[in-house]
């Protein structure tokens, strides 16, 4: 009886020592990084599907007939510019300049919107030409992969607007800084995925 009491005591002390160290949000960045890695696996599956099915045109249009590389280059530039402007937003956030941070976030959002509108007009053009997702396995996997990336960008923009409202209301408090850092990782991660998309889908598709 006495021995169990001692065991219970030591266990309680052990837990206290482990628990006291964590500040609020101390593990958020690592947790968000793990989420991004799992998101990376989703994209890996979609890339694999596109790699396997990307050559099956079913006598329909091939990448050469559909892709306008000039437009894709403009699109890539938009996303790259939005990455660097988000970087500037983080740098001004470090200095605590609220107005400048909001300004850079707005610029980033505009580049993101430009990316989305170019992508949507490209999709609309393809569908208008009869290159719908139902046309061939190549087009199904193309729309799934590029569409999933576009959906991520859309949610990134929604998140950005939300955070701009938060910063306008509460300023650059610790919680808002943490959220902005998470969105920073998300946004740069989308740019990394886009590198894979333009290389693997657009450039190598045109080469095929």
Partner 1 sequence: MSAHDHAGHDHAHGGAAHGSLKGYLIGFFLSVILTAIPFWMVMTGAIDNKQATAIIIMAFAVVQIVVHMIFFLHMNPASEGGWSMLALIFTVILVVIVLSGSLWVMYHLNANMMPGLHEMQQMP
- Does residue 94 touch partner 1 according to CB under 8 A? yes
Rg (the chain; Cα; Å): 23
Is the CB of 132 or the CB of 188 nearer to partner 1?
A: 188
- Using H for helix, E for strand and C for coil, what is the string for 45-76? HHHHHHHHHCCCCCCCCCHHHHCCHHHHHHHH
- Does residue 133 touch partner 1 according to CB under 8 A? no
Is the CB of 127 or the CB of 196 nearer to partner 1?
A: 196
- Does residue 122 touch partner 1 according to CB under 8 A? no
**Cβ of residue 34: shortest distance to partner 1, in angstroms?**
6
Crossing angle of the two packed helices 98-128 and 137-170, in degrees rounded to 10: 160
- C-alpha span between 183 and 26 (Å, rounded): 16
- Does residue 47 touch partner 1 according to CB under 8 A? yes
Position among 76, 101, 140, 141 found at the interface with partner 1 (CB under 8 A): 76
Residue 43 parent element (H or E): helix 28-53
- Does residue 181 touch partner 1 according to CB under 8 A? yes
- Using H for helix, E for strand and C for coil, what is the string for 75-88? HHHHHHHHHHHHHH
- Does residue 136 touch partner 1 according to CB under 8 A? no
What x-and-dash track marks residues 96-115 binding partner 1 by CB under 8 A?
--------------------
Residue 58 tokens, joined: 């079913």
- C-alpha span between 31 and 183 (Å, rounded): 13
Residue 207 tokens, joined: 């080469």
Where along the sequence are the contacts to partner 1 (CB under 8 A)?
A: 21-23, 25-26, 29-30, 33-34, 37, 40-41, 44-45, 47-49, 51-52, 69-70, 72-73, 76-77, 80, 83-84, 87-88, 90-91, 94, 177-178, 181, 185, 188-189, 191-192, 195-196, 198-200, 203-204, 206-207
């Amino acid at each position: 009886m006495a021995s169990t009491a001692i065991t219970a005591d030591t266990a309680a002390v052990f837990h206290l020592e482990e628990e006291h160290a964590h500040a609020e949000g101390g593990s958020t960045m690592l947790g968000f990084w793990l989420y991004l890695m799992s998101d990376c696996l989703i994209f890996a599956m979609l890339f694999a599907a596109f790699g396997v099915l990307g050559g099956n045109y079913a006598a329909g249009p091939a990448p050469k007939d559909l892709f306008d590389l000039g437009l894709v280059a403009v699109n890539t530039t938009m996303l790259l510019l939005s990455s660097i402007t988000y970087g500037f937003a983080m740098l001004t956030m470090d200095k605590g300049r609220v107005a400048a941070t909001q300004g850079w976030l707005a610029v980033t959002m505009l580049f993101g919107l430009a990316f989305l509108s170019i992508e949507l007009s490209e999709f609309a053009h393809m569908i208008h030409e009869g290159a719908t997702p139902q046309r061939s396995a190549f087009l199904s996997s193309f729309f799934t992969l590029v569409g999933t990336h576009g959906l991520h960008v859309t949610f990134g923009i929604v998140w950005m607007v939300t955070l701009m409202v938060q910063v306008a209301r509460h300023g650059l408090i610790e919680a808002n800084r943490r959220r902005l850092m998470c969105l920073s990782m998300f946004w740069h991660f989308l740019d990394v995925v886009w590198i894979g998309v333009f290389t693997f889908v657009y450039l190598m598709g045109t080469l095929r």
